[in-house]
Amino acid sequence: MTKTVEFLVRYCHEELDINRVTIRAAVGNEKSRAIPFRLGFHEEGITRAAQFIQGKYHDVISYSLLQADR
Please enumerate, as own/partner, the contacts of 24-33 that have beta carbons within 8 Å and a separation of 24 or more. 24/50, 24/60, 24/61, 24/62, 24/63, 25/60, 25/61, 25/63, 26/51, 26/53, 26/58, 26/59, 26/60, 26/61, 27/58, 27/59, 27/60, 27/61, 28/58, 33/61
Which pLDDT belongs to residue 70? 85
- We find that the CATH architecture of domain 2-69 is 3-Layer(aba) Sandwich (3.40)
Q: In the chain, what are the domain boundaries?
A: 2-69
Whole-model pTM?
Answer: 0.91
Span 18-34, pLDDT tens digits: 999 999 999 999 999 99
